[in-house]
Amino acid sequence: MPASPPVILWFRRDLRLADNPALKHALATGRAVLPVYVLDARLEGRPIGAASRRRLDGSLRALDADLRARGGRLILRRGDAEAELRRLIQETGADQVFMNRLFEPEAFARDADIAHGLKAEGVDCRGFNAALLQRPGAVLNGSGQAYKVFTPFLKALLATAQAPAPLDAPERVVVPDDVRSKAIDDWSLRPMRPDWSTGFVGTPGEAGALAALDAFTAGGLKAYATDRDRPDRDGTSGLSAHLHWGEISPWRAVQAARAAAATGRVPAAQAEKFVAEIGWREFSAHLLHHFPYLPERAFRPEYDAMPWRDDPEGLAAWKAGRTGYPLVDAGMRQLWATGTMHNRVRMAAASFLVKHLLIDWREGEAWFWDCLTDADLASNVQNWQWIAGSGADAAPYFRIFNPVVQGQKFDPQGGYVRRWLPEIARLPDRWIHAPWTAPAAALTEAGVVLDATYPRPVVDHVAARERALAALKTISAGR
């Protein structure tokens, strides 16, 4: 055992070396650092989904490579996090643990228990905020309460959050080489037979995150406010999975956008729109912190009385991208193939499930949780409740997206749906979002056979809208 015990750097969803306060403080001790990742199914409160496991595999490999390039490596352990930390402490004599906090209520409480337990044995645990612009609980209104409306929350957030000084990745990280590590290949985080992830997008890891940010600030940012709604364009940053896994700090993204505006290359309003979207991520995290029941229950309790339908066939058609509404179907297929879905289409697809099919938002949330590489408890739940009308500052339930109009408005030439639905790609623009309305000759010409090559709508928009509004009435009456 070395004269001076090493310190543990416990990585979780802060898988980066730059702008990493726990790493900075661990290195500042001047001791050897043990960078460890513990694969613990219970860490986040619920097991991560299949797409997230795939994403995590890439991210851990990238972090290990980045550490190796600096003389270190990532130590991998599997099992109950507390037990594994104790084991590592016993093996190495480490007496300090540095970590960046997880803010999901269950994970937060668990970290506190672990810190408490280790402290009793003389091991000091120190936690930092690397995930959010401002730690949850620090943005409160004049009466000391949580904000329930986004705009005042954002204003208060931006007025109070202090950007930390940027921190470069360290040049060297010395890791003792006599500490055991598991092999990531044995963890089976990647699907093998079959590998359904070959079309996944995004390059996991810190370098991938920085490259995405650079490309965005040099490209899409200048027209972000309008192009962010266009699934047929490359108008958004693609940072969500990087942010979720902590491969980049949200401050770095905010400051890069503002720096681009400061040079005059990008209008300030475009940069601030992007900052506001990062603000939605913060709002989601703050809401979950203050209202920990949100993954299970509606923020507006009357919505838990909604007469949801049990419709396994409708749910299966939605998951498979076979509802007959091209925008919804294209989105669901993009999700399956790439591990992500454009935000505008997430909204349309989610709305279709909860309003047109009248299926409980929790079913959709669970599917997204399993399929998204950026699946994030706070953001996913907040957005699903926003769509369902049951969330804080949510879209009113009675505003029901028409999936055809959404398609015509945001994918006017049908470029997006053609990409994901090759079976209708040859339809002319005017029918691309509503194939069942095309004349027989146009369908034949495009090689479309309704209900054979592409389904008719599983539900009629007008009838579904009426059914949804009638369901809303039943809960409004009970209020």
Closest distance of CB 342 from ligand FAD, Å: 6
Would residue 196 show up in a list of annotated catalytic residues for this protein? no
Choosing from 10, 361, 369, 431, which is the catalytic residue? 361
Choosing from 187, 308, 423, 436, which is the catalytic residue? 308
How many residues does the structure list for the chain?
479
Closest distance of CB 310 from ligand FAD, Å: 21
Closest distance of CB 3 from ligand FAD, Å: 44
Choosing from 302, 343, 423, 436, which is the catalytic residue? 343
Closest distance of CB 325 from ligand FAD, Å: 16
Q: Which is nearer to ligand FAD, 211 or 450 (CB)?
A: 211
Choosing from 44, 84, 104, 277, which is the catalytic residue? 277
Q: Which is nearer to ligand FAD, 197 or 240 (CB)?
A: 240
Closest distance of CB 150 from ligand FAD, Å: 10
Q: Which is nearer to ligand FAD, 114 or 243 (CB)?
A: 243
Would residue 343 show up in a list of annotated catalytic residues for this protein? yes
Choosing from 384, 386, 420, 431, which is the catalytic residue? 384
Which chain residues interact with ligand FAD by CB under 6 A? 228, 236-240, 243-244, 277-278, 280-281, 284, 343, 346-347, 350, 368, 372, 374-376, 379-380, 383-384, 387
Token pair in block for residue 286: 């703050």
Q: Which is nearer to ligand FAD, 16 or 281 (CB)?
A: 281
Would residue 431 show up in a list of annotated catalytic residues for this protein? no
Would residue 280 show up in a list of annotated catalytic residues for this protein? yes
Would residue 308 show up in a list of annotated catalytic residues for this protein? yes
Q: Which is nearer to ligand FAD, 10 or 274 (CB)?
A: 274
Q: Which is nearer to ligand FAD, 20 or 236 (CB)?
A: 236
Closest distance of CB 283 from ligand FAD, Å: 7
Catalytic residues: 277, 280, 308, 343, 361, 384
